[in-house]
Amino acid sequence: MNTLELVTLEEERAVQAFLLREARLLDEDRWDDWLLMVSERIHYWMPGIENRRREDARGGFNAEHMALFDDGYRELQRRVARFKQPSAWAEDPPTRNVHLISNIEVYAGENPGEYRAFSCFVNVRSRGLDEQYQIAGRREDVLCREGDGLKLLSRRILIPNATLPCKNINTFL
């Protein structure tokens, strides 16, 4: 889809509110509430980034490459289940998160009731007394109407890093 069709201000505001609320739920460790914002048809994808030359037809990422997330709903549920285990020793004391969301653009989606949203994020995590990790990136989402609300139908997350500058990503982006 090459044309970007604007939506009404009201729709744009609803999508923005969705993205900002989602970030707040993650910062508050409300993973179950976050999952309620996700469609069971979700494809949640964060490909690994390859440092290749411009002329290389494979590009910097592709669907066959290893990913950091390449999840359906079952995988997201499993990740949430792990965060919530009392035996997730490394999460106690908990990791503290801030998800900053910006550069939001909202357009009409391919199908009626769908929206295509671009955004940027900065995720700052701190653990223990002094550990701090920062990841920034771009997201491209498709949101859809399910029931009486919006749900996240697909998300593509691209970070600039070919080597992750930290040991893990123990949150959603």
Partner 1 sequence: MMDKPTTTLKAIESTPPLADLDRICDMQEGRMAGKIFWDSEIYEQELEKIFARCWLFVAHESQIPEPGDYVATTLGEDEVLVVRQKDRSIKVLINACPHRGNKVCFAEAGNARGFICNYHGWAFGPDGALRGMHESGVYEQSGFDKSRQGLREARVDSYKGLVFATFAADAPSLADYLGPMTWYLDVILDNDEGGTEFIGGCIRSTYECNWKIAAENFVGDILHAGWTHDSAAQAMLGGSVTKVSELPESYQVNWNGHGYEFARDLVGNAAVLGESAINKYLHLHSPKAAERLGEFRARMLGAVSSFTVFPNFSFLPGQNTVRVWQPRGPNKIELYTWVIVNRNAPAEVKEKWRRGAMMTFSPTGVFEMDDGENWEYCTKTSRGKVTRYQDLYVGLGMNSRLSDTELPGNVFRGQLNEANARAYYQRWKDLLQARTWAEVPDRNGKLD
Binding mask 49-68 for partner 1 (x = CB under 8 A): -xxxx--x-------xxxxx
Contact 110, 91 (CB under 8 A): no
Q: What does each C-alpha distance from 13 to 1, 7, 115, 122 come to in angstroms?
A: 23, 10, 12, 21
Q: Between residues 46 and 108, which has the closer beta carbon with respect to partner 1?
A: 46
Q: Would you tell me how many other CB atoms lie within 10 Å of the CB of residue 21?
A: 14
Euclidean distance between CA atoms 86 and 101, whole angstroms: 30
Binding mask 144-173 for partner 1 (x = CB under 8 A): ------------------xxxxxxxxx---
Which secondary-structure segment (H or E) carries 116?
strand 114-127
Q: Between residues 68 and 144, which has the closer beta carbon with respect to partner 1?
A: 68
The residue from 17, 81, 100, 120 that contacts partner 1 (CB under 8 A) is 81
The residue from 10, 85, 110, 129 that contacts partner 1 (CB under 8 A) is 85
Euclidean distance between CA atoms 24 and 120, whole angstroms: 15
Positive or negative: CA dihedral 60, 123, 39, 32: positive
- Minimum CB separation of residue 29 from partner 1 in Å reads 15
Q: Between residues 15 and 157, which has the closer beta carbon with respect to partner 1?
A: 157
What is the residue type of 125? R
- Minimum CB separation of residue 148 from partner 1 in Å reads 31
**Residues at the contact surface with partner 1, assessed by CB under 8 A:** 46, 48, 50-53, 56, 64-71, 75, 78-79, 81-82, 85-91, 162-170
